[in-house]
Structure 1
Amino acid sequence: MLRLLIFLIFLADFSLCQDPKVTFEDYFQFGKNEYTERNWPDCVAFMKRAIDDFRQYQDDVVSCRRKCNRQIKPATSSSPKIAKFHETSETALCLLRCRKDMFGDHQSIKKMSVYHDLEERKPYQYMHICYYHQGELAMAVQSAYTFLVANPDDKDIKQSLNWYMNRDGYSDDMLIDMERKDHEAKFINGVEAYDQQDWGRCVNEFESALEKSIIQDEKCRLLCQDKIDWSVVDGNPEIDILLASMRASVIRCEHNCLYKLARINGHYVGHLFAAHFEYLHFCHFKMQRGAEAAQTVANYLLFDDSPLMRRNRYFYGKQYKKNELFTPSQEVLDIYRRRDLEARFLEFMEKRFVVKDGELPPEQADDRNPLSLDIHVEDNFPYEQIPSLMTSSECKILRSALDTRERDGFVKELEQRVKLWPNSSYSNVTCGSPVREAQCSRAIVFSAEHNDCGEWLGKWFNGCAVVFCDEKKIID
């Protein structure tokens, strides 16, 4: 009798899992219900099913959108508006048919809040407790860590993970992110190869990581096409007002994809593509691939004009003596152009559509101008001025053991010369034989030594040097 009862329960659960009407939204709620009932095995089972179904849903949505983007022939730029409207209609019809094939009669999400919960890895917030109550410490740690990676400021999960770390049987090997993407794994491998000075592997891993990052960015962008902020719809607005707000919310989601992807193992690495190039240029240089190192520096400088990378550009320029080597790759130029145009569009929407005290901003001439499509990628930094920033006698003033009036006066003058970086400011003059690190993230360091006066140094240096800090905020 007991075996029959167990079989019937299994059969009911299996039937539920096969029911196409049951989606990740339902499984997530079932899991929460079992958590409340302290039914730990079913809590885990339903949460895992919710995660799997959510991944499948996203993959199916991306597949439909790729298919329709590929099949629908775009209207030409010179086509009348009605032709572009027709293109949109064809795309809509294609998507409706594809989604019908994929999801049947259950194409829409009932609550977007549940979708966001799955994106933010909320099932793992429950699963780590359910696993622990089943006596599965390793899976509890993995679940807690997986949630922490996406929610690094969550105090409760930090406290839980610290508690697990003090249990008998805990091992650091349990700290596994079960949602780690391919581009993250490759990036982490690349950093490991860099630290081990395995330059060939470093290049291979980072180039693969970059390729996978581009693929993930495309997938994220496709998933943004239904991320519409309906809160802006008030009353019965004009269709152009409605469309402008809808497009802005989608483009904002697309533009933010790189920010989401740039959280590697729970740590934000800055601009994701620039982070790849920061490692790649040095690994290429160590393998004596001058052309690749130069192009990688040029790729980096599209996204961030870091003084430290400009110093590398200056160093490579003196070594290779071919300015044409510092030309960004076409693929990276295309990515930069798209992001730059998106940023211009979003800036216009965010500044010109702000309602304060019931009023829009005063009308400006730019309100009626087309979006500027001019993209400037030339590196116009005056590298040739660097050797003349300081003279030998001025370096001697900086090496003075006392803070004399003459030295203070020269520092003020030098600060004006260093306004090649408009946001730079003086930090300090330091002397000593040990290797030291400049105490600002965007450091501009020049040697004050007699034998290499005025030489542009890196962030790590020894001897006498003067340090400036570039306070520019990089927003992309």
Structure 2
Amino acid sequence: MAGRPSAAMNLLLLVFLASAFAQDDVDEEADLDFLGWFAKGEVAYLDNHWSECVEAMQNSIADFKRYKSEVIRCRIGCRDEAEAAQPLSPVDIEDLGFFERQLRATLCMLKCKEQKRIKRVGAYSKDILSRFEQLQPYDYIQLCYFQRNELKKAADAAFTFLVANPSHESMSRNLKFFLDLPEVDNNDVTNLEAKRYVSLYIHGVDLYGKENYEAAVQHMEESLADYLQNERECRAYCEKPFDQGWYPEFVPSIANHFAFVLKCKSNCSYNMNNLNGEKYDDLLPSHYHYLQYSYFKVDKLMEAIEAAVSYLLFYPEDKDMLENVKYYKSLPNANPELFKPRKVLA
């Protein structure tokens, strides 16, 4: 027992040393970051340099995606590494196991930031990050494309921005203007930031309606997997710095930051249920609805049962699905062990 506190203190010391090293080793990157590209794009816009405006704003979007992707990769990887590590003590005394995992994850994050060159984490204010999370560069892109008379691209940029900001009145007017032009085919306007699960889901529903159940299963399974991965990444991105604006004591500090992160994570599914501007409150559970019937139609009853039971976790009183489960249970040789939901639901 005497060696346990020493090991814990060594871990804590490593965290502080790595943190100090990281702070002292911040180098100015030669290349512009997403904020620098955005500023360059604004200058080009004001100077009527439309091609430069588009290029700079597109570069700002691309660099922000790289930044966000590396942050998420580090957070998920470090959390998994901390969870898999052998605890210093076999007995979790006063929640020390939880704090040990956080210290391990913190040390891992500091190392990961050095390796992935994302030392700028924490260098941007909430307002700056919000500007990119709300896809503000597309506001400039649609204007600059319009000035270049590239009307289809202008419409795409306007639509992309509006999907993320549906109550933006001026952009709504801009998009309507573009869609009324004879050069723009309304059916070809594209959300440039649509996630892969969006197109997979839409095509899956279409295939389901055409009774092509084999293909519907494939699309829905791929959509479901991509949705769950995007939700995990969204939740990881929520674990960001939090400016409390004051200096609370230890417990209130943890509670305030936890509440901040929890609120962000709870919004992930709401924001992800946006299919090109249309909200679907049941997007995630509806995957299991389509899968249940599609698997049934291709004679894969085990998979159909699993999907049906999974769906009922979201809507336990759904009469149609309860009837489906009742039917499956009435089948010859129905094994009660089969009536279990999937292990990974959300």
Same fold (TM over 0.5): yes
Residue type at the aligned position of 1:42 = E
- Check the 8 A contact 1:224/1:250 in 2, yes or no: yes
Is this contact kept in 2: 1:206–1:280, CA < 8 A? Answer: yes
Bigger relative CO (Cα 8 Å, ≥ 6 apart): 2
Tell me if structure 2 keeps the 8 A contact 1:194–1:202: yes
Unaligned runs of 5+ in 2: 1-27
- Aligned-partner Cα distance in 1 for 2:267–2:105: 24
Partner of 1:132 in structure 2?
146
Structure 1 residues 338-380: Cα deviation after superposition (integer angstroms, max 9, x where no partner): xxxxxxxxxxxxxxxxxxxxxxxxxxxxxxxxxxxxxxxxxxx
Contact 1:225–1:250 (CA under 8 A) maintained in structure 2: yes
Change (3 A) 1:315 1:214: closer
Which residue of structure 1 lines up, in the alignment, with residue 266 of structure 2?
A: 255
* Counterpart-to-counterpart distance in 1, 2:343 and 2:65: 32
1:106 matched residue in structure 2: 120
Read off the aligned partner of 1:37 and give its amino acid letter. Answer: D
Q: Which residue of 2 aligns with 1:51?
A: 61
> In structure 2, the residue corresponding to 1:226 is in which secondary structure?
coil
5+ residue gaps in structure 1? Answer: 1-17, 336-476
Which of 312, 325, 331 is the matching residue for 2:321? 312
CA deviation map 1:418-475 (0-9, x unaligned): xxxxxxxxxxxxxxxxxxxxxxxxxxxxxxxxxxxxxxxxxxxxxxxxxxxxxxxxxx
Matched, 1:242 2:253: yes
Counterpart-to-counterpart distance in 1, 2:170 and 2:317: 37
Of 59, 64, 67 in structure 1, the residue corresponding to residue 77 of structure 2 is 67
Tell me if the contact between 2:158 and 2:175 (Cα under 8 Å) persists in the aligned partners: yes
The residue aligned with 2:340 is: 327
Q: Which of these residues, 83, 100, 104, is aligned with residue 90 of structure 1?
A: 104
For the 8 Å contact 1:62–1:219, the answer to whether it is kept is yes
What SS is found at the alignment partner of 1:203? helix
Q: 1:319 to 1:174 in 2, by over 3 A?
A: closer
Residue of structure 2 in register with 1:190 after alignment: 204
- Number of the residue aligned with 2:36: 26
How far 1:316 moved relative to its partner?
4.4
Give 1 or 2: higher helix fraction.
2
Equivalent position to 1:293, from 304, 309, 334: 304
Question: Is this contact kept in 2: 1:280–1:296, CA < 8 A?
Answer: yes
Q: How does 1:51-450 map to 2 (within 5 A)?
A: 51-72=61-82, 73=85, 75=87, 78-80=91-93, 81-82=95-96, 84-103=98-117, 106-226=120-240, 228=242, 230-231=243-244, 233-234=245-246, 236-305=247-316, 307=318, 310-318=319-327, 320-321=329-330, 322=334, 324=336, 325-332=338-345, 335=346
Displacement of 1:323? 7.6
Letter in structure 2 aligned against 1:328: P
- Does the 8 Å contact 2:67/2:118 carry over to 1? no
Per the alignment, do residues 291 and 90 of structure 1 end up closer, same or farther by CA in structure 2, a change over 3 Å counting?
closer
Larger Rg: 1
Q: Give the distance between the partners of 1:263 and 1:31, measured in 2 at CA.
A: 28
d(CA) in 2 for partners of 1:82, 1:198: 54
Q: Distance in 2 between matches of 1:319 and 1:106?
A: 55
Q: Deviations over 1:226-264 (max 9, x none)?
A: 153x34x43x32110111111121122223222221112
Distance 1:291 1:60 in 2: 39
1:207-229 CA distance string (max 9 Å, x none): 1111111111111111111153x
Q: How many residues align?
A: 311
Equivalent AA in structure 1 for residue 339 of structure 2: F
Q: In structure 2, do the counterparts of structure 1 residues 319 and 161 end up closer, same or farther at CA, with 3 Å as the change threshold?
A: same
Distance in 1 between residues matched to 2:145 and 2:106, nearest whole Å:
43
Deviations along 1:60-103, one digit per CA (max 9) or x if unpaired, are 11222233234331636733355644443332222122212333
Whole-angstrom CA distance in 2 between matches of 1:238 and 1:216:
35
Identity %: 25
How far has the Cα of 1:306 moved from its partner?
A: 5.2
Distance 1:156 1:302, change over 3 A: same
Alignment deviations for residues 137-174 of structure 1 (CA, whole Å, 9 cap, x no partner): 11111111111222223222221111112223211343
Alpha carbons of 1:225 and 1:167: their partners in 2 closer, same or farther (altered >3 Å)? same
Cα deviations by residue, 1:268-304 (Å, 9 ceiling, x for unpaired): 1113320211222222232233332232121111112
Shift of the 329–121 alpha-carbon distance from structure 1 to 2, 3 Å rule, reads same
**CA distance in 2 between partners of 1:146 and 1:190 (Å):** 22
SS in 2 for 1:62: helix
Question: CA contact under 8 A between 2:204 and 2:219: conserved in structure 1?
Answer: yes
Superposed, 1:448-463 pairs within 5 Å as none
Amino acid in the other structure paired with 2:327 = K
One-letter amino acid of the structure 2 residue matched with residue 59 of structure 1: S
Alignment correspondent of 2:23: none
The worse-fitting range, judged by mean Cα deviation, of 56-65 and 86-95 is: 86-95
> What's the CA shift for 1:26?
1.9
From 17, 26, 50, the equivalent of 1:40 is 50
Structure 1 vs Structure 2 CA RMSD: 2.4
Q: How many angstroms apart in 1 are the aligned matches of 2:106 and 2:196?
A: 31
Supply the AA of the counterpart residue of 1:178: L
1:292 and 1:110 mapped to 2: Cα distance? 46
Q: Could you tell me whether the CA contact under 8 Å between 2:308 and 2:324 is conserved in 1?
A: no
